[in-house]
Amino acid sequence: MGKVLEKNSVSANEKENKKKVFIKTFGCQMNVNDSERIKGILKNLGYEFTNDWKEADLILLNTCTVREKPDRKVLAHIGEYKKVKEFNPNAKIGVCGCLAQRMGEELNRRAGGVIDIMFSSYNIHHLPQLLEKAEKGEKAIEILPEPPKDEWEMFEYPTIRENPYWAYITIMKGCDKDCTYCIVPQTRGKERSRPIRSILQEIKDLVKDGVKEIHLLGQNVTAWGKDFENPIPFSYLLYKIAEIDGVERIRFTTGYPTDLTDDVIKAMGEIPQIADALHLPFQSGSNRILKLMHRYYTKEEYLEKVYKLKEVKPNIAMSADVIVGFPGETEEDFLETLDVLEKVRFEQLFSFKYSPRPGTPAAEYPDQVPDDVKTERMHRLLEVQKRIMNEEAKKYEGRIVYPLFERYSDGKLIGRSSENKWVEVKTDRKDLLGKIVPVKVNRASVYVLYGDIVES
């Protein structure tokens, strides 16, 4: 969790008159983890958290800009939240994250100049100084062109998590790939690996706090360690984490197929704590489209990785991202994508119609696919995936799975299995919260497994 910075400790007077903050998070797990870190900073500054933006002294939007839809959502939310100033003139509106990094001052202009504070994922740890500036009535907008040298200082703050039993751990930021549809390198920068001592110390602190499951995060998490002066394999980090007493399960998201090297696959087979689930985006099944996307692997190479994974982890549940309707995609290209679905049999698939992002090469490509064609192909893809998910779900019936029980509700224990499936058990055994317990599955739906605890 990291240490609390003494220079920002809360005085007695501040404790008596705490301000309230409302945080809205858009986008990926990285943004969720950034918001947890922001909460740690704000708690240290004396803020209380509220789920009602109308009573907030600070409204903060942590934004995503991977697709056009989140951009529109953010502007719509700002339009609603600015009403807070009608009944609380001193309230501040802040925007951070990827959209802030991409648009900067232009975002404030489009929002009608109501944004008081703006920063990106590069400088979350500068929030205390930005708040101080905003309180003086100044515009506190700090969008840096590249990550500062003190970027990792943000990990000196604790995270404020909603779940006591598992935690996200950011181990790297940025991406060195040049996918022609993607805005991430522009908003998150080049790959920067977090020092291994910092990672291991945070995990040790989390375990002391009761955390059982660790979820490693990075835009390209499997590339961790490559940018060090003396490179360290990602597999080495996995072995070191597994050695920490109290770590019972390890997950990591999101990897790039070519960085899922044989040593990582070997580690996944050898380390018992590594979950039987992996998210590995493939984006398209067509080698021609993959080349246009600047995805530096082929369909055949992707499938080979999956087959190797299934050799070391026979029950592994695969999930992925896929883009439908990339510029130039033909019916034959699309059928290659459906073929990947049939061969891999993903248990979860995040599918998106191609959305042009400003400043990316693909936005200027010829042969943009008409929206009605994208919609029709998406419908067909979802129908195939729905069938596969139903077929795969039935395979769980009669099997024993091992959920980490996270909560108790309405006479049921609820947790997530190693395969990333929700598991529900009717029981009064609240003492099993925070424990990994064997459960025999009696009935399986696509997203939830229903069963009974296996008594030893």
Cα separation, 424 vs 415, whole angstroms: 7
Number of helices (H) and strands (E), helices first, in the chain?
A: 15, 20
- In terms of C-beta density within 10 A (0-12 exposed, 13-18 middle, 19 or more buried), how is residue 197 classed? exposed
| Amino acid in the structure at residue 120 | S
CB 350 within 8 A of CB 319: yes
SS3 436: strand
Cα separation, 423 vs 412, whole angstroms: 10
Cα separation, 136 vs 218, whole angstroms: 36
What is the structure's pLDDT at 15? Answer: 46
Helix axes 196-208, 234-242, angle to 10 degrees: 30
Residues 6+ apart with CB under 8 A from 289: 326, 328, 329, 333
Helix axes 262-270, 234-242, angle to 10 degrees: 10
- CA 280 to chain centroid, in Å, comes to 13
| Amino acid in the structure at residue 285 | G
| Amino acid in the structure at residue 239 | Y
Cα separation, 349 vs 337, whole angstroms: 12
Q: What is the 3-state secondary structure (H, E, C) of 96-119?
A: EEHHHHHHCHHHHHHCCCCCCEEE
Cα separation, 24 vs 21, whole angstroms: 10
Residues of the chain with pLDDT under 50: 1-15
Cα separation, 440 vs 431, whole angstroms: 19
What is the structure's pLDDT at 17? Answer: 66
Sign, CA torsion 207/212/216/217? negative
The length of the chain is 456
Walk me through the domains of the chain, giving residue ranges and CATH numbers.
6-142 (3.40.50.12160), 151-394 (3.80.30.20), 400-453 (2.40.50.140)
Record the tokens describing residue 453, joined without a space: 């605890």
CA dihedral 213, 219, 222, 223 (to 10 degrees): -140
Segments in 209-350 forming alpha helices (H): 234-242, 262-270, 287-293, 299-312, 331-344
